[in-house]
Amino acid sequence: MTEGTQYYYNLSTGAVEEGAQSPATERMGPYATREEAERALSIAAKRNQEWEQDDEEWEEG
């Protein structure tokens, strides 16, 4: 991630914040762009799905 403004997705409000404004337990990030932070939940869901698939493949050996 480059230096500069970082964006966070607030889990409580669903809003994107510029900089770390909320407690860490209420935010996801940092993200490099506002648009990326807006997609925080879908990014996390996609990563979780990929990890689950990896786990299944590993367990199948």
Report d(CA 10, CA 23) in Å as an integer.
Answer: 9
Given a cut of 60, whether residue 1 has pLDDT beyond it is no
Confidence of residue 55 (pLDDT cuts 50, 70, 90): confident
pLDDT number for residue 57? 87
pLDDT number for residue 15? 98
The tokens describing 42, both together, are 């879908």
Cis ω for the linkage preceding 23 (within 30 of 0): no
pLDDT number for residue 47? 93
* Site of tokens 């925080």: 40
Instruction: Determine contact, residues 31/8, Cβ cutoff 8 Å.
Output: yes
- pLDDT tens digits for range 19-50: 999 999 999 999 999 999 999 999 999 999 99
